[in-house]
Amino acid sequence: MLALVGGFVAGTVSGERPAALTIAGLIGGLWLDLLRMTIVPLVFALVVTGVARLRSATGQEGGDLGKRLAIVMIGLLFLSAIVTALVAPLLIDLFTIPHDSIVALRTMFPATVPPVVPGPVEAVRAMIPTNPVAAAAAGAIVPLVIFALVLGIAVGRIEEERSAALVQALNGLADAMVMVIGWVLRVGALGIGALAFSVGASAGVSVLTILAQYVAASLALSVLLIAIGYGWMRFASRVPLWRFARVAAPAQVIAASTQSSLATLPAMILGARSLGIGDRDASVALPIAVAVFKITAPSNTLLVALALAWMGGVTVSPVQIAMAIPLAVLSSLMILGLPGAISVYASAAPTVIALGAQIELLPILAAVDVIPDMARTVANVTYDLIVTATVAPVTPVGFERESDSLA
């Protein structure tokens, strides 16, 4: 944040000085290229190994509870992505940035030929990579992910001894890419400062309005998802809304203050007990939900991609948005276990590339992500409790007695 503010102020004060812009463009561009070079191998390795490991995760340990939990979580992730696909374009249309400011911001991007939107048949056929290596070289992320899915399923079906060698190698590749990203992010202040300098010099103070409205849109989507979650509770669970809101409040406060879903786990376990959920079910469902379920992940991925497309003047068709929905859901699953700063790039980059948006401003959006991340963590924690109350048996005795005493 300090680098973002300092670089932006310096760029705004200095104006468009060619020498300074050249140096800042070189530093910021090199840093962004180092970050971008890890996307294809990281995404490919994470998808293949994640899908291949599903075989070992389908044992009987979780039983019916685990099956219901998986179905509900995946369904809610798709709901999050669909809601964002419908609402985010409306929020972006509300942006009232002066035309000159948008033009100045878009001049930062290299000139590109507007992509030709294919028809439905061509779009479906283009998703199948006849040459996976060429797809990777061209940065065609959707065909590459589909190939990785198919390969992961196949690896999970062959003999475990044979698949272990390939999975281990790809795990090593993913770990190495995470290590490289960690190195790049260690000098992130320098790269983000240089990018912010270019933005400030090119677009001026008006870019603050753009970033503020992006933050507002992200907050609005988190609030909307929380409201939908409370509505879900009304119909999918026997827990009264007033009681759920009171029980969830401590975990939500911890989530907002720590921006960590894991830190709220003890409070959520106590909250689940207060809702009438058995300790055994809560101890199984809640840790799984905290580890693998982020309701705002596909939503934030789509919002970032659509915002970058809008900033860069890239027209995104409804067909492209529909194709990006499952990709956003998959991205939210494949980043599990990655550090927070790395996961922002790993989750958003595939969808950004798939929509044809320029990725240059992604670090800027990530740098102002502190406030939206607070709201997203609250939403994630809220849904962890929601899915647990949805799939686990709830004993209503506790709150029925309390209702009687209140009456």
Q: What is the pLDDT of residues 153-212, one digit of tens each?
A: 888 888 878 888 888 898 888 888 878 877 887 887 888 888 778 777 765 666 677 778
pLDDT over 90 (residue 225):
yes
Three-state secondary-structure class, residue 29: helix
CA distance 306 to 316: 8
- Residues 225, 378: contact at Cβ < 8 Å? no
- Residues 316, 309: contact at Cβ < 8 Å? yes
Give how far Cα 391 sits from Cα of 39, 76, 306, 385, Å: 35, 13, 33, 10
Tell me what the mean pLDDT of segment 289-317 comes to: 83
pLDDT over 90 (residue 62):
no
Tell me what the mean pLDDT of segment 137-149 comes to: 73
- If one compares 6 and 338, the residue with the highest pLDDT of the two is 6
- Residues 87, 221: contact at Cβ < 8 Å? yes
**CATH (one of 1.10.3470, 3.90.1150, 1.10.10, 1.10.3860) for 2-406:** 1.10.3860
What pLDDT band is residue 220 in, cutting at 50, 70 and 90?
Answer: very high
> Per-residue pLDDT tens for 388-397?
888 877 776 4
- For the chain, the structural domain boundaries read 2-406
pTM score > 0.95 for this model? no
pLDDT of 379 = 93
